[in-house]
Amino acid sequence: MPFQIIRNDITKVTCDAIVNAANKSLLGGGGVDGAIHRAAGPELLAECRTLGGCATGSAKITKGYRLPCKYVIHTVGPIWWGGFFGEKEKLESCYRNSLQLAMEHRCESIAFPLISAGVYRYPADQAVKVAIEQISTFLEDHEMMVYLVVFDRKAVSAGQKRFREIGEYIDDTYVETSMRYDIRNRKQSLPKVNTACNEADTCFYQEKMEKAPSPQAVREKSLDEILETMIDESFSEMLLRLIDEKGMKDSECYKKANIDRKLFSKIRSNPLYKPSKPTVLAFAVALELSLDETRDMLMKAGFALSHSSKFDIIVEYFIKKGNYNIFDINEALFAFDQSLLGS
């Protein structure tokens, strides 16, 4: 998956490069800087001494030494003075310059901490916004696995004001569901299921029966051949059809879905590919499907949207709102401790 928000200590993240939220001297300090220097060992400080410091918004690269990464990219975030002194532009430039350096060193993966959101006091929610905007803009034109490592629980949490409406939507939907399906009086409260086949069902099954091969043919055909004639359009066929119908390029679609190119090729070349639920939903979001269309697509892969899953309810909330920005959705999923959309 090209972009993931994770909760971890960045010194434990295995990838090609990790980013250090340093100060202009590049000679170490507290916070993530201190943690990185401790984990990398004294050789890191020795190399940093040769670099001649670093300006705010710029970035410099060193080796990773004892860290589980090849490189450390040191960048200097702005100190927050209320947002009136170009802090946002400087923070944006930290992300851009670090990603540029990673590219020049052919890194395939990189992990960022929330630059400036600690000692430098940049408000965490705004720091996350800048990070996500810059990373997603970069990923529109580049292939790289980017992690945003959120260490501090409060930085992205369901309790924040910006997630209040989603929290309320979850509560309302949960309440509704748990009232209807209260397990203690399940028999009385379960909605009645109409077991009689309606006309549409009958036609559907008749059609299936007509298509079904005779016992003689069954003996002569292989199981694969039989399945092929009986199975409707598969998930991958549906996906490729919708991409064409929406006039999208494949790359546009998998990028919007936060899915990496290799996984997309696998899906494209295997009509019977069995995707995970987050993958299906990621494509539904990328294709901007309605809720009904999303349900159809999920069904193709053997899934359904459920009101007893927070994950499903959050995705449903965004689709209903017509907000198809996968990074916004993933930020909310992360805040509510759910798995993220994508591969």
Q: Is 11 in the site for ligand AR6 (CB under 6 A)?
A: yes
Size, binding site for ligand AR6 by CB under 6 A: 25
Q: Is 40 in the site for ligand AR6 (CB under 6 A)?
A: no
| Backbone dihedral angles phi then psi of residue 316, each to the nearest 5 degrees | -60, -45
Q: Give the binding range for ligand AR6 (CB under 6 A) out of 82-90, 110-118, 190-198, 267-275.
A: 110-118
Min dist. Cβ of residue 38 to ligand AR6 (A): 9
Q: Is 119 in the site for ligand AR6 (CB under 6 A)?
A: yes
Which 161-200 positions form the footprint of ligand AR6 (CB under 6 A)?
none
Q: Is position 33 annotated as part of the catalytic site? A: yes
Q: Is 116 in the site for ligand AR6 (CB under 6 A)?
A: yes
Q: Is 30 in the site for ligand AR6 (CB under 6 A)?
A: yes
Which 44-103 positions form the footprint of ligand AR6 (CB under 6 A)?
77
| Backbone dihedral angles phi then psi of residue 260, each to the nearest 5 degrees | -85, 160
| Among 75, 93, 89, 72, residue whose Cα is nearest residue 11 | 72
Nearer of residues 10 and 281 to ligand AR6, judged by Cβ = 10
Which 278-317 positions form the footprint of ligand AR6 (CB under 6 A)?
none
Nearer of residues 21 and 61 to ligand AR6, judged by Cβ = 21
3-state secondary structure the chain: CCEEEECCCHHHCCCCEEEEEECCCCCCCCHHHHHHHHHHCHHHHHHHHCCCCCCCCCEEEEECCCCCCCEEEEEECCCCCCCCCCHHHHHHHHHHHHHHHHHHCCCCEEEECCCCCCCCCCCHHHHHHHHHHHHHHHHHHCCCEEEEECCCHHHCCCCCHHHHHHHHHHHHHHHHHHHHCCHHHHHHHCCCCCCCCCHHHHHHHHHHHHHCCCHHHHHHCCHHHHHHHHCCCCHHHHHHHHHHHCCCCHHHHHHHCCCCHHHHHHHHHCCCCCCCHHHHHHHHHHCCCCHHHHHHHHHHCCCCCCCCCHHHHHHHHHHHHCCCCHHHHHHHHHHCCCCCCCC
**Residue 198 CB partners (closer than 8 Å, separation 6+):** none
CA distance 40 to 285: 40
Q: Is 148 in the site for ligand AR6 (CB under 6 A)?
A: no
Q: Give the binding range for ligand AR6 (CB under 6 A) out of 21-29, 83-91, 228-236, 325-333.
A: 21-29
Q: Is 113 in the site for ligand AR6 (CB under 6 A)?
A: yes
Q: Is 26 in the site for ligand AR6 (CB under 6 A)?
A: no
Min dist. Cβ of residue 110 to ligand AR6 (A): 14
The binder of ligand AR6 chosen from 44, 73, 91, 117 (CB under 6 A): 117
Min dist. Cβ of residue 27 to ligand AR6 (A): 8
Q: Is 10 in the site for ligand AR6 (CB under 6 A)?
A: yes
The binder of ligand AR6 chosen from 149, 284, 298, 319 (CB under 6 A): 149
Q: Give the binding range for ligand AR6 (CB under 6 A) out of 8-16, 48-56, 138-146, 269-277.
A: 8-16
Catalytic residue among 16, 33, 296, 337: 33
Nearer of residues 35 and 226 to ligand AR6, judged by Cβ = 35
Q: Give catalytic residue positions.
A: 33
By CB under 6 A, name the binding residues for ligand AR6: 9-11, 21-23, 29-33, 35, 77, 113-120, 149, 151-152, 155
